[in-house]
């Protein structure tokens, strides 16, 4: 299809539940204030774990958006998804009663799904004599990661494309990419896309501790997430959810919607190298960024901001910095690069959506979020990471990177919306 015949895809609504704010406004204000979401774990007794802190969602009340009966039949990751979806739909101002619901859909993912449900049901089984009748009939529907997309569709009666994506930490970037492609193919006018995760639980923390992937800075959690800093010692587990309302420009224009930004390109690759480590020099990340820029019909000169994957792990931060230098060459030092994981921690399957929201708002407000906890320069990470302070900057277009175990790489390209 010729580029001038491909529908433009715009962002009209945002919803977020994060460790630094339970609304998009609070999330943005938290980033601007360089707020850390890290603190001692409260969801379970972590006293015997190597890591005893995480970026938990705080003061969350699911009953604001979901009925008590629904809460009892939803894992926490689905509760986060529903709250984010309700806020995004309200933010967009869309009236599904007046819309063609067969042309509205949901792509929403979770990297792991209902870990708390598995934990609780297994506990019920073995602490009550191992009898199978102790297992809830809602166990499977609460556990499976695609169920959040189904719940969102049921809430709004959306009968268009609907499924979940799973690609570890790239999950919700793939959700957004898939929604973007479905709309470009003319299969929907409106899509809700994003992801959620809730794995601050014994097996979640214990499993990543076993891999030596988590920071163990238990004496100072608020400074533990240190992307690109020489003293980083692993990532900080986070939780939450994010969702974007995407519309064709024609659909949004016809209803007079406010437009935050435009989705203009995607780059999807795999390292085909190692199950957890990135390819040398970030080779897969290089290709995903180049493909996203090319897909957008832009050049590297158009990119003013990059929301980095920036996990605060030794391998990722070195390889991503190298990849950015490879893609942008002499311009690399002129681009603001930040890792909002320094504040939210790593939200795994929700990271892509929450960071897409951060990138969208950076364009909308012409302000790059900071990378906090920058104390000592790593000689292998020498880009402009907006250290410890948000940076006003001209952003015509921006990239958001997410990379997942299995070598999955996803780069989303967003641009400032211009009607003409």
| Catalytic positions, written as ranges | 169, 309, 346
Token pair, residue 194, equals 């994003």
Q: Between 24-32 and 351-365, two packed helices, what is the crossing angle to 10 degrees?
A: 70
* Residue 53 backbone phi and psi in degrees, to 5: -140, 165
For residue 40, count other CB atoms closer than 10 A to its CB: 12
Compute, in degrees rounded to 10, the torsion defined by CA atoms 141, 143, 145, 146: 0
State how far the Cα of 166 lies from the Cα of 203, in Å rounded to an integer: 19
Sequential DSSP letters for 157-177: T--S-EE---BTBTHHHHHHH
State how far the Cα of 55 lies from the Cα of 347, in Å rounded to an integer: 9
Length of the chain: 420
State how far the Cα of 16 lies from the Cα of 129, in Å rounded to an integer: 40
Q: Give per-residue burial for 301-328: e unless 16+ CB within 10 Å, then b.
A: ebbbbbbbbbbbbeebbbbbbbbbbbbb
Segment (H or E) for 88? helix 76-92
Q: Which residues pair with residue 246 across a beta bridge?
A: 11, 191
State how far the Cα of 22 lies from the Cα of 45, in Å rounded to an integer: 24
State how far the Cα of 19 lies from the Cα of 263, in Å rounded to an integer: 26
Token pair, residue 369, equals 């979020």
């Amino acid at each position: 299809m010729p580029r001038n015949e491909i529908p433009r895809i715009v962002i009209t609504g945002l919803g977020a539940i994060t460790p630094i704010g339970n609304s998009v406004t609070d999330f943005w204000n938290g980033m601007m204030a360089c707020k850390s979401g890290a603190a001692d774990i409260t969801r379970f007794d972590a006293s015997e774990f190597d890591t005893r802190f995480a970026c938990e969602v705080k003061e969350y009340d699911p009953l604001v958006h979901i009925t008590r009966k629904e809460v009892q039949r939803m894992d926490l990751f689905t509760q986060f998804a529903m709250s984010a979806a309700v806020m995004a739909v309200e933010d967009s101002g869309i009236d599904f009663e007046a819309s063609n619901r067969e042309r509205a859909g949901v792509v929403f993912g979770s990297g792991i799904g209902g870990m708390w449900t598995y934990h609780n049901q297994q506990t019920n089984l073995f602490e009550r004599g191992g009898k199978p009748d102790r297992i809830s009939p809602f166990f499977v529907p609460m556990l499976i990661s695609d169920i959040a997309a189904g719940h969102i569709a049921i809430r709004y009666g959306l009968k268009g494309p609907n499924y979940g994506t799973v690609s570890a930490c790239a999950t919700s970037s793939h959700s957004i990419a898939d929604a973007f492609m479905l709309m470009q193919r003319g299969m929907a006018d409106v899509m809700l896309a994003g992801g959620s995760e809730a794995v601050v639980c014994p097996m979640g923390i214990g499993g990543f501790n076993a891999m030596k992937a988590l920071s163990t800075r238990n004496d100072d959690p608020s400074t533990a997430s240190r992307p690109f800093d020489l003293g980083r010692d692993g990532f900080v587990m986070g939780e939450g959810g994010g969702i974007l309302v995407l519309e064709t420009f024609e659909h949004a224009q016809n209803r007079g919607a406010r437009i935050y930004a435009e989705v203009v390109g995607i780059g999807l690759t795999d390292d085909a190298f190692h199950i957890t480590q990135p390819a040398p020099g970030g080779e897969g990340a290089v290709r995903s960024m180049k493909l996203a820029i090319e897909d957008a019909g832009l050049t590297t000169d158009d990119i003013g901001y990059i929301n980095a994957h920036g996990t605060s792990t030794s391998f990722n931060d070195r390889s991503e910095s190298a990849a950015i230098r490879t893609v942008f060459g002499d311009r690399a030092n002129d681009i603001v690069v930040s890792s909002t994981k320094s504040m939210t921690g790593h939200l795994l399957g929700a990271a892509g959506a929450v960071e897409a929201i951060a990138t969208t708002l950076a364009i909308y407000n012409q302000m790059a979020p900071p990378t906090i906890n920058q104390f000592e320069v790593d000689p292998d990470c020498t880009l402009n990471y907006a250290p410890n302070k948000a940076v006003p900057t001209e952003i015509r277009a921006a990239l958001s990177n997410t990379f997942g175990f299995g070598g999955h790489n996803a780069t989303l390209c967003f641009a400032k919306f211009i009607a003409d």
